[in-house]
Amino acid sequence: MEHFKNPRNIGVIENPTAIIQVGDPDCGDTLLLSLKIKKDRVVDIKYKVYGCAAAIATSSIASEMAMGKTLNEVLKIDEKAITKALGGLPGEKNHCSNLAAGALRGAINEYRKSALKRA
């Protein structure tokens, strides 16, 4: 409930290094995630989320878990780690942790693809 009532890192980074929007068509939740990456490390992270309390909480905790980590460390943040960090989720809300974890992976994968094109 803490991350729902007091979500962290809300917003959009100006001139992000990576940005991605993901959604869950079954429930209507949408997450816009922006990252600032320097030297293979997340130095800033912001998000905007449209969804239920669990979507807000999982986005908030995922942003805190990723802040300051290397990209390889962030890729290890999965839905189970997010759910555990929150102290659990109701079974019908586990898909919200999938949304947050998928956004992290997707943003990093897009960043790496664009870095290869620039090289």
Active site residue 52: no
Catalytic residue among 19, 27, 53, 81: 27
Active site residue 27: yes
The Cα diameter of the chain in Å comes to 44
Catalytic residue among 20, 55, 66, 96: 96
- In DSSP notation, 1-42 reads -HHHHS--SBS--SS-SEEEEEEETTTTEEEEEEEEEETTEE
Query: SS3 of 67, please?
Result: coil
Sign of the CA dihedral with 33 first, then 99, 85, and 72 last: negative
| Amino acid of residue 113 | K
Active-site annotation, residues: 27, 96
